[in-house]
Amino acid sequence: MKRNLRITPEGTKDYLFKECTAVNYVCKKITKVFENHQFHQVITPALEYYDLFSSIRAEDMFKTTDNTGNIVVVRPDSTLPIARMVTTRLQNEVFPVRLYYNQAVYRNNPSLTGRSNEIMQLGVELIGSSGKRADLEIITTAVESMQSVCDDFRLEIGHSMLFNALADELDADEETKDIIKTYIENKNYSALNDILDKLPKSETATAIRKLPSLFGGDEVFAQAEKFIKSERALEALAYLKDLYSTLSVLNLGDKLSLDLGLVQRNEYYSGIVFSGYIPGCGDSVISGGRYDKIFNMFDCEMGAAGFAINVNFIAEKSKHSPKKNIAEVLVFAKSDETIMDAITYTSQLVKSGVKAQFSILSDEKEAREFAERLKIKRVEVI
Amino acid sequence: MKPLRIALTKGRLEKKTVELFEKLGYNCDEIHNKGRRLILSVGDGQFEVVLAKAADVITYVEHGVCDLGVVGKDTILENGTSFYELLDLGFGKCRFALACRKGHDFYHGYGAKTVATKYPNVTRAFFEGKNMDVRVIKIEGSVELAPLVGLADGIVDIVETGSTLVANNLEVKEYVTNISARLIANTASLKLRKREIEDLVNKMEALTSDDNNSNS
């Protein structure tokens, strides 16, 4: 049998040195924003029961069984586990609670597409409140987080009820509606148009077809009002308009814009949604929104909004070039008798803030060569 | 400013797109004299053209290393997942069709049918739409051979003039869908470089709709 000893599973990789530094830099900057805004960290298990993720396609998850035969999955998302945690463990907290996480999610992507199956995510959840204030808080925290790590980005906001209201009113059977929603979520616009072509012509079908092209500045509102007749969709549009004009005081220019066709991949979104992009990255690097509906599955009513940032996407494109961590001093013990002295001396240097390394090599010439190759300037012989 | 990078499907679609660029007044000399180069500058350096196989055009665009792509609807239907389809360019027209041996009644009987194709996803979706469970066999080369040697009851393939079918004693049973070249865009590029892309799309749209009107 062929043994996979020297390769990692598809969609995963090792992170070495500078790659780690870049990831840590992004994490440090963003968690500072989160913590200063009083979001508190939580960690959820990497394994959860399959039942929790019914809103995520089964084939997208890594599954296994526990020893009683229940199906468990490697966490494909952090929001659902946090919702579970809030309903069961934080009932006596003062709401709204502000939580953040810094943990990877795992998705089983189709093979040979070069996509990461392991994505490091940083995210916040603002739970126990809904309405304009909470939505604004989440959007501005997202903007601040992006600003802390990249000069250039685009954040686009939309409203999940635009598409959902239109899809509900569409003259089609449930299965077709489900397919339409999947195409919209996956941004598979060509397949979307093909399926809409097959349906009887209607105002709703035309509106659904036009929505993805409505992105940009506030001119999109006038364009949308022309062909959206659905009352629920118009309500969502009015709310978005109000929110967008409120946000204009931030003077973000084209860093903040609108995308009326924006729909997030999970069906639990119920209000505003947003996605962010950075140059050189073909996928969105941040996505979030309002998902009050998520608590329905736990039989409780609670407002919730948040977002997740794909840390490794940003770290890969980050212009921050960290300096390599090089020791200033290599401490060499000239004989077996001085080993402990040399180790103690190294510890003293480290305690006083000097980057020092004890030489493991026992030959002085080899130790000096080693120092040269590692660009360590000083060698001290004890 | 970084040039907009456009992936073109090598061959016929490439030629047609170059014609379109030239009609819009962009200099395409580098493409005409490309030699073995794969990345070529178009216009005054505002565009960069990449030549690739059809399915790869989609891959490059999906990953965002190319902002735009020109690719046939056939490839989109078979491989497409996540990008914007901006424009029907109106050229590269042909059709997907189900064909079988002349006089053969494909739908006769309850036995599960076997269909050979280069486009398994398109084929599966087509028969799923008919609530038919068929056995799909992927063929890389001339699909027409499969029903002739008895591997399959029928084929799903691209039909342009139908002369290959006639020469092999096959006939079209049913047309699946129309195909033509499409302009596609990466979702992030479309947001980050909205103005440049919209500008190009508007120019192309004006020209392609003129052509369509004059043809009819």
Residues B59 and B80 in one domain: yes
The pLDDT value given to residue A209: 85
Whether residue A3 is contained in a domain is answered as no
> Helix (H, G, I), strand (E, B), or coil: what is residue B210?
helix
Return the CATH number at B120.
3.40.190.10
For an interface test with B, which of A113, A188, A209 has the most B Cβ atoms less than 10 Å from its Cβ? A188
Q: Is A305 in contact with A135 (CB distance < 8 Å)?
A: yes
Residues B120 and B168 in one domain: yes
Residues A313 and A335 in one domain: no
Chain B residues whose beta carbon lies within 8 Å of the beta carbon of residue A284: 187-188
User: For residue B89, is pLDDT > 60?
Assistant: yes
User: For residue B216, is pLDDT > 90?
Assistant: no
Whether residue A5 is contained in a domain is answered as no
Chain B residues whose beta carbon lies within 8 Å of the beta carbon of residue A215: 190-191, 194
The pLDDT value given to residue A263: 81
| Least trusted range by pLDDT, from A30-34, A209-213, A216-220, B187-191 | A209-213
Question: Please, what is the average pLDDT of chain A?
Answer: 91
The span from the CA of B216 to the CA of B211, in Å, is: 9
Residues A49 and A27 in one domain: yes
Q: What is the dihedral of CA B116, B122, B125, B129, to 10 degrees?
A: -90
The pLDDT value given to residue B211: 61
Residues A146 and A179 in one domain: yes
Q: Is A152 in contact with A64 (CB distance < 8 Å)?
A: no
Cβ contact, residue pair A194, B59, below 8 Å = no
Residues B42 and B103 in one domain: no
* pTM score: 0.87
Residues B70 and B116 in one domain: no
Residues B62 and B124 in one domain: no
Residues A140 and A114 in one domain: yes
Q: Is A138 in contact with A243 (CB distance < 8 Å)?
A: no
The pLDDT value given to residue B1: 74
Q: Is A63 in contact with A50 (CB distance < 8 Å)?
A: yes
User: For residue B81, is pLDDT > 90?
Assistant: no
* B84: nearest CB among A189, A216, A279: A189
Could you tell me the residue range of the domain that residue B112 belongs to? 94-178
The structural domain count of chain A equals: 2
Residues A293 and A336 in one domain: no
Cβ contact, residue pair B188, A277, below 8 Å = yes
Residues B99 and B169 in one domain: yes
Residues A105 and A222 in one domain: yes
Cβ contact, residue pair B85, A279, below 8 Å = no
* A187: nearest CB among B82, B182, B192: B82
Residues A301 and A334 in one domain: no
User: For residue A210, is pLDDT > 90?
Assistant: no
Domain boundary (A291, A317, A343) is at: A317
The structural domain count of chain B equals: 2
Mean per-residue pLDDT, A330-354: 95
Read off the pLDDT of residues A143-194 as tens digits, 9 standing for 90 and up. Answer: 999 999 998 899 999 999 998 888 888 888 888 888 887 777 777 777 788 8
Domain boundary (A269, A293, A317) is at: A317
Residues A254 and A377 in one domain: no
Could you tell me the residue range of the domain that residue A354 belongs to? 329-381
Residues B19 and B37 in one domain: yes
Residues A300 and A338 in one domain: no
Whether residue A7 is contained in a domain is answered as no
Residues A243 and A184 in one domain: yes
Residues B8 and B85 in one domain: yes
- Find residue A63's DSSP bridge partners: A73
Q: Which residue of B has its CA nearest to A116?
A: B63
Token pair of B137, please?
Answer: 């066999």
Please, where are the H alpha helices in A249-310? none
Read off the pLDDT of residues A115-140 as tens digits, 9 standing for 90 and up. Answer: 899 999 999 999 999 999 999 999 99
